[in-house]
Amino acid sequence: MSNATKSILLAGVGGQGILRASDILSQVMIEAGYDVKKSEVHGMAQRGGCVTSHVRYGKKVYSPIAKKEDVDILLSFEKLETLRYLNFMKPDGTIIINNTEIYPPSVNLGESKYPRNVVEEVTRHFNDVRVINASDIANQAGNMRTVNTAMLGALSVKLNIGIKIWEDVLHIAFPENVFKENLDAFNLGRNA
């Protein structure tokens, strides 16, 4: 186990299941033997605003939030939100983008434009960029609310954690009636 603290930043829009995903990720890291801290802000921000969650793990973690240029992996649930947090990324960091667009109010009102070239902009600055269609995967898994587990599947490929740990944590995290759908979404995300 490396001594250095690693940081994963989950970002997206309220309602996408980001906090649930970061809870699951944190539990996986605990099961893998790491010290873990995670941080997010609730309250007013949850009403359709940006949502982020920092997950940090290592031998001994102090700060629950990462500083700028210190995040190893950005798991972005919405295309535009990816851009908002690029300055948190290490230059050689990994970025996983869900190919979904959710328009902010100013775009809906026609006052600003939703940027058309998000992925191009990201790949201009970073080498390790993956785009997945988590909504399609969730659809395929039979439950639109499994976008977050599909994203975790894609993330799991970048982490050296035994698949058994992921499965066990997912099993505890979800009630039996939706566990299968979530596990399917996770595996589809893994192979996406």
Partner 1 sequence: MKRLMSGNEAIARGAYEYGVSFASAYPGTPSTEITEEFSKYEGVYAEWSPNEKVALEVGIGAAVAGAKALVVMKHVGVNVAADPLFTVSYTGINGGLVIITADDPSLHSSQNEQDNRNYARFAKLPMLEPSDSQEAKEFIKHAFEMSSKFDTPVFLRMTTRVSHSKSVVELEDRVEHEDTLAIQHNPQKYVMVPANARTRRVEVEKRMLELRKFSETFSENKIEINDTENGIITSGMSYNYTKDVFPDYSYLKLGMVYPLPVNMIREFASKVKKIYVVEELDPFFEEQIRALGIDVIGKEIFPYTNEFDPGVVQTAIMGESSHKEGNVTVQIPMRPPNLCPGCPHRGLFYVLGRLDAFIAGDIGCYTLSFMKPLEGMDSCICMGASIGMAHGMSHALKEKGKGKIVGVIGDSTFIHSGITSLLNTAYNNSNVVIVIADNRTTAMTGMQDHPATGTTLQGRKTKELNFAALGTALGIVSVRTINPFNIKETRSVMKEELSKDGPSLVLSNAPCALLRSKQDEKVTPLRIDPDKCTGCKLCLRLGCPAISWKNFEDLSDTLIQKKTKKQEGIATIDPSLCNGCTLCEQLCNSGSIEEVQTNE
Q: From residue 117, give the alpha-carbon distance in Å to each of 75, 85, 113, 164.
A: 18, 16, 11, 38
Nearest to 58 by CA among 128, 93, 8, 10: 8
Site string for partner 1, 24-63 (x = CB under 8 A): --xx--x----xxxxxxxxxxxxxxxx----------xxx
Cβ-based nearer residue to partner 1, 170 or 187: 170
Burial level of 100, CB count in 10 A (0-12/13-18/19+)?
A: buried
The token pair that represents 119 in the structure block: 């992925």
Our finding on whether 119 is near partner 1 (CB under 8 A) is no
Our finding on whether 83 is near partner 1 (CB under 8 A) is yes
The stretch among 92-100, 110-118, 156-164, 168-176 that binds partner 1 (CB under 8 A) is 110-118
Our finding on whether 105 is near partner 1 (CB under 8 A) is yes
Cβ-based nearer residue to partner 1, 11 or 192: 11
How many whole angstroms separate alpha carbon 170 and alpha carbon 8?
A: 19
> Phi, psi (5° rounding) for residue 28?
-60, -45
Binding site for partner 1 (CB under 8 A): 5, 13-14, 23, 26-27, 30, 35-50, 61-70, 80-81, 83-84, 86-87, 103-110, 112-115, 117-118, 121, 125, 144
